[in-house]
Amino acid sequence: MTKRRVTLTIDADLLDEARAAVSDGDASSVSAWVNQAMADKTEHRRRLKALGEAIADYEAEFGKITPEEVAEQRRLDEIAAEQVRADGVRRRSQRELGA
């Protein structure tokens, strides 16, 4: 991929974090760190756009998603998250007991 040199103004604390990442070996350079952050942000934006399109397609076919449906799904997600957490605690306990 072609690289281009640019001049950026970056918040000092973010620049410190990028330099720390280089020092810790998490990035080969500040440029690499920034490049990866931009790639991650680009992918996140692409996924949000795809999700928006999927929701629009769903609503075009089945009707607008209601606040009640969103609330019910949130409730179900919380129940599922609690189960996942409980399963993780159970597996850790079993490993610690040598089971």
On whether both 55 and 75 belong to a single domain, the answer is no
Please report the pLDDT score of residue 56 as a whole number: 98
DSSP letter at 34?
H
**Structural domain tally of the chain?**
2
pLDDT classification of 88: cutoffs 50, 70, 90: confident
On whether both 48 and 73 belong to a single domain, the answer is no
On whether both 58 and 70 belong to a single domain, the answer is no
Please report the pLDDT score of residue 36 as a whole number: 97
Q: Determine the structural domain holding residue 34 and report its residue range.
A: 7-63
Looking at the domain assignment, is residue 2 inside a domain? no
- Write the pLDDT tens digit of every residue in 29-65: 999 999 999 999 999 999 999 999 999 999 999 999 9
Task: Give yes or no for a contact between 34 and 8, defined as CB atoms under 8 angstroms apart.
Answer: yes
On whether both 78 and 41 belong to a single domain, the answer is no
Is the per-residue pLDDT at 99 higher than 70?
no
Looking at the domain assignment, is residue 14 inside a domain? yes
Estimate the crossing angle of helix 12-23 against helix 30-62, to 10 degrees. Answer: 110
Looking at the domain assignment, is residue 1 inside a domain? no
- Write the pLDDT tens digit of every residue in 56-83: 999 999 999 999 999 999 999 999 999 9
Please report the pLDDT score of residue 44 as a whole number: 98
